[in-house]
């Protein structure tokens, strides 16, 4: 399930499949509408090949063509993406808890999973008038600079942790932790407390607080996060609500550690 | 942008691109996790070809392989689907209004667009303990049997309306309108009132109420819908809130007809 350390592990452009996928990869958050010549250039394909493959993707529904002849991502990809068990299926199970968290805190709410060395947001609820955030549904960020990323990294395999700790840690703000020794201590603290706090790591003014979500085998499968303005809120005040919410989602997923009835005391 | 009247217009299975896309199309809401031989059978490909193509899709991130060797849809498709202007981008703009609608009504909330002869849900907010609904994010339903579908069909090109009216109208419940003359009157009523009501058309017990959302050119680009239990609520009582919400989203999209300041009277 882990991809390479790079952002996107493209299939070989030499195969027919690789050429088709390169057409899709020409699209990005900053390039949502492309002409045929832009697709051809970004994908490294001749105009003729790009035209033929884009045509097949339009027929299939992965691309749409507007009245100006430009291409954009189509709805059939959403239909397929909705089938991803770790994506929109997880989102659907978690949704009532995310709503509760959103309306009890009025902060930005994230649901994220780890994909290789990155965190991918599978749900984002945006609070109006709150601190600005970079994360968008479907987008990827490095694990070390986000609250949900830290919660996921702290509970990942030791091998994966070591690979992240030994790779260059990208700096986003003057406060981003880029020293592996500091990051190692942070991860131990996340495991000890069950909560990750990322203060101004990805954007100045933003504090992220996150908690892990566990699955049927009690393994960490996702993380839930809140982002608030650094001056607006003491992040520690949000620990009880985010813990309760993470437990609720874990219980829905069948996690054994989240199954105790609240208030029940086992044993004598 | 319109696909054929069939549910999915597959690319030719004879081309290399068509074979790759057939592997993805082997997955469906009822078949989210597949073995290689299931993929091979559903896609009509040899085991060798299915293995090679599934491998390329795993490398690219469109598929993931679990520890049992079974395949499922991966997160890279969500990343791409998030770039669809009519999908998750629209959802992001509409989200605050959908939240308001959800919390003021406690009903199921849908945001949908038309894709060919079907309605596709690009956002679904589920109310706990409310009437059961079939619609899921990314799923497709016929236009004539859903509230959002009726709102979209009533404002579609006349040609498209005639094609739907002259095609067989699938029955989902004993109350589903399958007589094209009745459907024609319903569509005229939707245009006259600005509201679509679908009572027990897709499921018994469910009433859907929907309103169109307009874009920059004042054309209908999407629809917003609520689903409530038939005994729970007088659908007409929901008209003001859904109208206000549809206007808010239309204004955010730049629709000229939704730009007037509330209460302002132009001219003398």
Question: How many angstroms separate the Cα of B120 from the Cα of each of A71, A109, A129, B26?
Answer: 19, 25, 30, 19
Q: Are residues B72 and B106 in the same domain?
A: no
Q: Are residues A98 and A126 in the same domain?
A: yes
Q: What is the pLDDT of residues B184-203, one digit of tens each?
A: 999 999 999 999 999 888 88
Same domain membership, residue B165 and residue B47: no
Give the span between the Cα atoms of A204 and A172, in whole angstroms.
Answer: 9
Q: Where are the alpha helices (DSSP H) in chain A?
A: 16-25, 36-43, 47-60, 75-81, 90-105, 147-154, 158-166, 180-193, 239-252
Return the residue in B28, B75, B104, B133 with the most chain A beta carbons within 10 A, the one to mutate for interface testing.
B75
- Last-in-domain residue among B80, B103, B125: B80
Q: B175-192 burial, b if ≥16 CB within 10 A, otherwise e? A: ebbeebeebeebbeebee
Q: What's the CATH code of the domain at A27? A: 1.10.10.10
- Pick from A12, A57, A83, A217 the residue to mutate for testing the B interface (most B CBs within 10 Å): A83
pLDDT in tens, A70-103: 999 999 998 898 888 888 778 888 988 998 898 8
Phi and psi at residue A61, to the nearest 5°: 105, 0
Assess whether pLDDT exceeds 80 at residue A131: no
Write the pLDDT tens digit of every residue in A13-49.
Answer: 578 888 999 999 999 988 999 999 999 999 999 999 9
Q: Which of B80, B100, B127 is the C-terminal boundary of a domain?
A: B80
In chain A, which among 125-144 make CB contacts under 8 A with chain B?
125-126, 128, 136-140
Pairing of strands A33-34, A71-73: antiparallel
Q: Give the least confident one: A91-105, A237-251, B121-135.
A: B121-135
Give yes or no: residues A67 and A169 share one domain.
Answer: no
**B70 reaches A (C-beta below 8 A):** no
Q: Does A60 share its domain with A91?
A: no
Residue A45 domain flag: yes
User: HEC states along A223-241?
Assistant: EEEEEEECCCCCHHHHHHH
Contact criterion met (CB < 8 Å) for A84 and B73: yes
Q: Let me know if residue A53 belongs to a domain.
A: yes
| Structural domain contains residue B4 | no
Q: Largest Cα–Cα distance of chain A, in whole Å?
A: 76
Interface test with A, best of B14, B68, B76 (most A CBs within 10 A): B76
Residue B4 is predicted with a pLDDT of 38
Q: Kindly state whether residue B267 falls inside one of the protein's structural domains.
A: no
Q: Which residues of B27-57 are buried (b: 16+ CB within 10 A; e: fewer)?
A: beeeebebebebbbebbebeeebbebbbebb
Alpha carbon of B184: minimum distance to chain A alpha carbons (Å): 27
At residue B69, the pLDDT reads 93
Same domain, B57 and B117: no
Q: How many domains does chain B have?
A: 2
The DSSP 8-state label assigned to residue B126 in this structure reads P
d(CA B227, CA A4): 44
Residue A236: how many other CB atoms lie within 10 Å: 11
Nearest to B206, CA basis, from B172, B182, B237? B172
Are A165 and A67 found together in one domain?
no
Among A165, A258, A262, CA closest to A215: A258
Q: Looking at the partner chain, which of B1, B53, B76 has a beta carbon nearest the beta carbon of A17?
A: B53
Q: In this structure, are strands B140-142 and B118-125 parallel, antiparallel, or unpaired? A: antiparallel
Across the interface, of A9, A75, A99, the residue whose CB is closest to B84 is A75
Question: In terms of domains, do A91 and A182 share one?
Answer: yes
Q: Residue B197: helix, strand or coil by DSSP? A: strand
Q: Is residue B194 part of a domain?
A: yes
Q: Which of B2, B118, B140, B5 is nearest to A58 (CA)?
A: B2
CATH number of residue B232's parent domain: 3.30.450.40
CB B81 to CB A15 under 8 A?
no
Please report whether residue A7 resides in a domain.
no
Of B148, B177, B129, B141, which Cα lies nearest the Cα of B29?
B141
Answer yes or no: is B3 within a domain: no
Same domain, B93 and B214: yes
- Nearest CA of chain B to the CA of A268: how many Å? 36
Q: Which of A56, A75, A94 is the last residue of a domain?
A: A75
pLDDT in tens, B198-225: 988 888 888 999 999 999 999 999 999 9
> What ipTM goes with this model?
0.80
Answer yes or no: do B55 and B167 share one domain: no
Q: How many Cβ atoms are within 10 Å of A189's Cβ, its own excluded?
A: 14
Q: Domain for residue B30, yes or no?
A: yes
- Interface A:B, Cβ pairs < 8 A: 201
Asked if residue A8 has pLDDT above 50, the reply is: no
Are A138 and A241 part of one and the same domain?
Answer: yes
Q: Are residues A166 and A66 in the same domain?
A: no
Non-local (6+) Cβ contacts of B76 within 8 A are A8, B60, B61, B62
Residue-range definition of the domain harbouring residue B123:
85-258
């Amino acid at each position: 399930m882990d991809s390479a350390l790079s952002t996107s592990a493209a299939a070989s452009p030499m195969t027919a499949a690789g050429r088709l996928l390169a057409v899709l990869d020409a699209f990005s958050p900053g390039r949502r509408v492309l002409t045929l010549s832009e697709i051809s250039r970004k994908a490294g394909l001749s105009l003729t090949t790009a035209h033929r493959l884009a045509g097949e993707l339009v027929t299939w529904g992965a691309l749409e063509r507007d009245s100006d002849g430009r291409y954009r991502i189509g709805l059939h990809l959403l239909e397929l993406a909705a089938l991803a068990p770790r994506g929109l299926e997880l989102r659907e199970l978690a949704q009532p808890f995310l709503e509760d968290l959103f309306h009890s805190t009025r902060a930005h709410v994230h649901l994220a999973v780890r994909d290789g060395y990155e965190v991918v947001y599978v749900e984002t609820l945006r609070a109006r008038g709150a601190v600005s955030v970079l994360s968008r549904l479907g987008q990827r960020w490095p694990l070390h600079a986000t609250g949900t990323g830290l919660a996921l990294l702290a509970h990942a395999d030791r091998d994966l942790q070591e690979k992240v700790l030994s790779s260059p840690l990208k700096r986003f703000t003057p406060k981003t932790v880029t020293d592996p020794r500091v990051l190692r201590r942070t991860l131990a603290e996340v495991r000890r407390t069950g909560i990750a706090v990322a203060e101004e790591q990805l954007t100045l003014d933003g504090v992220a607080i996150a908690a892990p979500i566990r699955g049927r085998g009690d393994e960490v499968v996702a993380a839930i996060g809140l982002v608030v303005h650094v001056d607006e809120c003491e992040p520690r005040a949000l620990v009880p609500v985010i813990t309760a919410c993470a437990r609720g989602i874990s219980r829905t997923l069948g996690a054994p550690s989240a199954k105790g009835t609240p208030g029940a005391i086992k044993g004598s």
